[in-house]
Structure 1
Amino acid sequence: MSQNAFLQAVQQYDFFTENGALSHSTTGSALVDYFAKCGTYRDREQEEVNADLNKLWNDSPLIALMIVFYVRNISRKSRGFFTSTEVQKGQGARDEFRKAIVFLATNHPEVLQKNLWLIPVVGCWRDLWHEDLINVLDRTQVYDLVQRGMQDEDMRGLVAKYLPRIRSKGQTYTEQHKARNEWARGLCKVMGWSEKEYRQFKSNPAHSAHQFQRVMSAGLWDELDFSKIPGKALFKLVSKRGKDGHTTLERHNQIERYTEWIKAQPVAKFTGYVYELLLAARGPRTTLPEKLTFDRQFDGLIEQARKDRGGLSGNVWCALDTSGSMMAEAAPGVTAFDICVGMGIFFATLNEGAFKDHVIMFDCTSYAKSFKGTFTEKVQQIMGTTTAWGSTNFQSVIDAIVDVRRKNPKVPLSDFPETLLVVSDMQFNAVNGETAQTNYDAAMEKLAAVGLPKINIIWWWVTGRGKDFPSTLDDEGVTMIGGFDGSVVTLLLGGDEVIDAETGEKRKPNAYESMLKALDQEVLRQVKL
């Protein structure tokens, strides 16, 4: 953590946002630089990932490894090779993780071997034979791991579900089909199986992961148990329409039965992102079963985020960037604005304090907004009145807080926001059109001028497009994080103070210490060098 004071100073106040605001080229830590944005990364070049991870590895191989597995970790309780006592929270990102695994396989194969077993724990068995990794990972090690999975009661069904099917010659169309056939036949050789025995293992009725698919394939729709259907599959059955304009459940006359079932459920499973539900829910012709499904699945995400640690406590105000730059694509076919609004609804719903269901939005100016009702109702309320346009005037959010202090001095300090959760691409306008101050420094100065304490800030990126950072490790009470799964935020808040190593005095955690807090999870403690 210690750094030459000159080198530290020369890398501060040395960069600008796309809108001309003074900023920083680094937080002061390569680990924090990467952690802040890694959850948003999609489709980067392997060389770019390698360059980032080389820097991380030189800083701290152990923390670098924890971040890599955090990137892939799907928020859920771990089971199988490792069973956690609490929900383990991460970003569920696949592409960046696979490229990180390529980096490890190339540069640190012995470390990857020690941690290979964690891949299906934090992610999915299918990751091991994805086209990006099928010819990268050591085949013998992967086959050994698959055999261990077959012997594990919690893993066996998932192994059977995700093993690649062996295609006949007439159905082998691509190089990827050939590679998977070769991989599967290699496993058959190791297991001493014929291809028929391999297929029998995959289709064994004892593997419940396949059960709902078997019922549908047999045409036994009236026997379909909706509670056994995985969240993503349920989402598609209810909302995906075919060429005939009907969903699968409509096509097979299951809507009435399904609607009665989903009405009775307090929550429904879903392992996707909030923005996926938002995109489906914002249409003007959403049907009742669709609305009920999206609402229950959103409530399931909220319930999971609250498990073990509770929701957002204290006065946490979510600030949503609705400027024109948020219309940039953050994931295939999805804008940063879509993700931002979904995260805003999620954070505001997760909030358990006075600011529950309240947000402030900012573009050229800022405006406070509250919403009520179910998830789909909140989506309609916010999407029906909000568009992404204009510039990115973050100072308007601070000005709104300062104006209340000036105009209503009797409002207790305890009623003001304690934490500002800023969901943005961080490409802010220059302060007062000038480049003398960063937005963070100007904000703290304005608050102090009216007698308000420093506010905690969580900078939450929904796209890592920008190359700058609004704060550094020198700024206490600051967290820098990003991604499309907001549940990890519950690990970051709390009244913790740390003892400053240099002064010996108590202070709020900085971005590095907040990162370590997010990484301090049961499953991530299992990584080994």
Structure 2
Amino acid sequence: MTMLNALKNDTNLTFTENGALTHKTTTSNLMDMFAMGAAMRQRDESDIILMWRKAFQENPVYALKCLFYIRDVRGGQGERRFFRTILTDAAKQADSREAIRRNMKHIPEFGRWDDLYAFIDTPLQEDALSIMKHQLALDVECKTPSLLAKWLKSENASSKESTRLGNITRSYLGMTHKEYRKVLAALRTRINVLEKLMSENRWDEIEFDKIPSKAGLIYKNAFARHDLERMKNENVQSYADFAKDENTKVNAGTLYPYEVVEKAINLMEPQPQSYTWARREKPALDNTDRLMINKYWDNLTDYFNGATFNALAMVDTSGSMLGTPMNVAVSFGLYCAEKANGPFANHYISFSSRPQLIECEGVDFCDKVDRIVATNLCQNTNIEAAFNMLLTTARRYKMSQADLPQNIIVISDMEFDRATGNYSYWNERPNEEQMHMADTLMEGIAKQWRAEGYEVPHLIFWNVNARQSNIPMLDGSKVSYVSGFSPSIFQSIMTGKSGYDLMMEVLNKERYACIQ
């Protein structure tokens, strides 16, 4: 070990927002990107760019694979801002520009055609527009055009930036304003763009089972409002009947579980009426909106595919998780509990000021969400108490190691409370010398388990809101780090691999072989 590496190792300690001693990094820039990159929606662009540059410097090829995994809307995490921020910066940097140029043709497959607009005003602008021009020429001639026309910017858009991008696109294509408008309109008609059908009041032509995932959720209220217009055509099924029909399916392949949970919360959560404390009645079981939300949840991709997986999720329901992060965590807890067949099926542990064993029960999905949300404490982040609950129960009933979960999936922003047990450190934050004498929070928990004759299970720390960079490391233990809002990573977690090997299991998938 060099002196510099020794110094980095010795200074790789920090504190969570709530005072727990933890680590700054995994010591691998690539793994840091994998562990936190898909959970950086609230971070500054400079943080995103710095993370990318360090990972690219460490391993250019795998940094690119990780970048495309984070963007991948089908098999990855589907993060748009992170991806586009890096594309713009990387195109401007001499050391990464050619690597981005080489892989540019794959962007529409892993993301969307409008991701290419990230290259406008960069040295790769013409390369991006050239790809669009080539595909547009193919689409005009072929029977099954791509979705390019859907995502090309129009010149008459309400957004000034969209209008500017539309002008740049039209100019590069060498078309007049009228020609560009007519080409887009013709292609959008051929690809049956949903928004075009809606704007033209062609409600009876909408096929609910073929609507893109997110659009189906976004426009469900509009479909319900226009059901009478749709029913003027006696040959089509009404939206209400479609919702009630147990044999109908919806396209939910690119939906995040939390997006469906949010719709259920908004539907079921009692709201004050006027200025009174009267509570609004929950929608009936046959309510069209409720039935459609249930249908979207039931049609989410099952990444467990019926397999048995011995795992227990720990869901952070502290106040710092309020909003989307908590909905993501709850959705993963419910998703794992429902779909991972194993000894802890239909259960997970939530932790805040105190841990709770949550049983996922209800007459339908919306009812389950309603009951779960009512248990969220929204207080502090005492993960130590959650591990103590497992340890105390195991000790009281003389459980063997085999009786414990083989995998614990901690879904959180990782801003844990400082230790409170007999292995806690100083009442005040320690100085530099004391920090190196103290155990981190997770090291202390592992020591307590070993003192009782147990090993901490394989821990998967799933970051859903990386507000700052901290990593709950454990030396010599099976610990893995993932991030993001998509459950697709469950496929790789089930392989039994951990840590760096788990990351490589994901990035070495055949899907990312084209990224070089």
AA aligned to 1:180 is L
Q: CA deviation at 1:106?
A: 0.9
2:312–2:347 contact (8 Å) kept in structure 1: yes
The answer to whether residue 181 in structure 2 is matched with residue 179 in structure 1 is no
1:125 to 1:144, Cα distance in 2 relative to 1, 3 A? same
Listed one character per residue, the Cα deviations across residues 38-60 of structure 1 (whole Å, up to 9, x for unaligned) are: 11112543332222222112211
1:143–1:187 contact (8 Å) kept in structure 2: yes
Listed one character per residue, the Cα deviations across residues 444-489 of structure 1 (whole Å, up to 9, x for unaligned) are: 22332333333100001111013321115x4431111111112212
Listed one character per residue, the Cα deviations across residues 65-116 of structure 1 (whole Å, up to 9, x for unaligned) are: 11111111102xxxxxxxxxxxxx2111111111110121011221111011
2:348–2:358 contact (8 Å) kept in structure 1: yes
Q: CA deviation at 1:371?
A: 1.2
2:188–2:196 contact (8 Å) kept in structure 1: no
Q: CA deviation at 1:311?
A: 5.5
Listed one character per residue, the Cα deviations across residues 289-348 of structure 1 (whole Å, up to 9, x for unaligned) are: 222222222222233x34xxx366332000011222223xxxxxx342222212211222
Q: Larger deviation: 57-66 or 136-145?
A: 136-145
Following the alignment from structure 1 to structure 2, what is the Cα–Cα distance between the partners of residues 481 and 428? 17
Q: Give the match's secondary structure for 1:421.
A: strand
AA aligned to 2:11 is Q
1:267 to 1:3, Cα distance in 2 relative to 1, 3 A? farther
Q: CA deviation at 1:426?
A: 1.3
Q: Give the match's secondary structure for 2:191.
A: helix
Unaligned runs of 5+ in 1: 76-88, 241-245, 328-333, 497-508
Q: Between Structure 1 and Structure 2, how many residues are aligned?
A: 474
Following the alignment from structure 2 to structure 1, what is the Cα–Cα distance between the partners of residues 515 and 382? 42
The answer to whether residue 453 in structure 2 is matched with residue 451 in structure 1 is yes
- Number of the residue aligned with 1:230: 212
1:354 to 1:372, Cα distance in 2 relative to 1, 3 A? same
The answer to whether residue 417 in structure 2 is matched with residue 432 in structure 1 is no
- Number of the residue aligned with 2:15: 16
- Number of the residue aligned with 1:6: 6
1:445 to 1:312, Cα distance in 2 relative to 1, 3 A? farther
In the alignment, which of 261, 264, 270 is matched to residue 242 of structure 2?
Answer: 261
1:173 to 1:492, Cα distance in 2 relative to 1, 3 A? closer
- Number of the residue aligned with 1:102: 88
Structure 2 matches for 1:334-483, cutoff 5 A? 334-373=323-362, 374-389=364-379, 391-409=380-398, 411-432=399-420, 434-435=424-425, 436-471=438-473, 474-483=475-484
Q: CA deviation at 1:6?
A: 2.3
Following the alignment from structure 1 to structure 2, what is the Cα–Cα distance between the partners of residues 275 and 248? 25
AA aligned to 1:383 is V
The answer to whether residue 256 in structure 2 is matched with residue 273 in structure 1 is yes
Following the alignment from structure 2 to structure 1, what is the Cα–Cα distance between the partners of residues 259 and 2? 42
RMSD (CA atoms): 2.8
1:57–1:64 contact (8 Å) kept in structure 2: yes
Q: Larger deviation: 479-488 or 426-435?
A: 426-435
AA aligned to 1:269 is N
1:173 to 1:256, Cα distance in 2 relative to 1, 3 A? closer
1:166 to 1:251, Cα distance in 2 relative to 1, 3 A? farther
Q: CA deviation at 1:7?
A: 3.6
Listed one character per residue, the Cα deviations across residues 464-519 of structure 1 (whole Å, up to 9, x for unaligned) are: 013321115x44311111111122122122245xxxxxxxxxxxx4x222211222
Following the alignment from structure 1 to structure 2, what is the Cα–Cα distance between the partners of residues 512 and 368? 31
1:174 to 1:18, Cα distance in 2 relative to 1, 3 A? closer
Following the alignment from structure 1 to structure 2, what is the Cα–Cα distance between the partners of residues 50 and 450? 44
1:55 to 1:256, Cα distance in 2 relative to 1, 3 A? same
1:471 to 1:216, Cα distance in 2 relative to 1, 3 A? same
Structure 2 length as normaliser, TM-score?
Answer: 0.84
Structure 2 matches for 1:152-301, cutoff 5 A? 156-167=145-156, 175-189=160-174, 193-204=175-186, 208-210=190-192, 212-239=194-221, 247-249=224-226, 252=229, 257-262=238-243, 263-265=245-247, 267-270=249-252, 271-282=254-265, 283-284=267-268, 285-286=282-283, 288-301=287-300
1:456–1:478 contact (8 Å) kept in structure 2: yes
Listed one character per residue, the Cα deviations across residues 250-289 of structure 1 (whole Å, up to 9, x for unaligned) are: 5746698113223234642133322221121113355722
Q: Give the match's secondary structure for 2:480.
A: strand
Q: CA deviation at 1:120?
A: 0.6
- Number of the residue aligned with 2:132: 146
1:350 to 1:267, Cα distance in 2 relative to 1, 3 A? farther
1:30 to 1:286, Cα distance in 2 relative to 1, 3 A? farther
In the alignment, which of 87, 92, 107 is matched to residue 78 of structure 2?
Answer: 92
Following the alignment from structure 2 to structure 1, what is the Cα–Cα distance between the partners of residues 283 and 38? 30
Unaligned runs of 5+ in 2: 269-281, 426-437
Listed one character per residue, the Cα deviations across residues 172-214 of structure 1 (whole Å, up to 9, x for unaligned) are: 765414412322322431xxx4444433332236864325445
1:298 to 1:439, Cα distance in 2 relative to 1, 3 A? same
- Number of the residue aligned with 1:124: 112
Listed one character per residue, the Cα deviations across residues 344-403 of structure 1 (whole Å, up to 9, x for unaligned) are: 1122223121222210011122111111353222211201232311x2211212212212
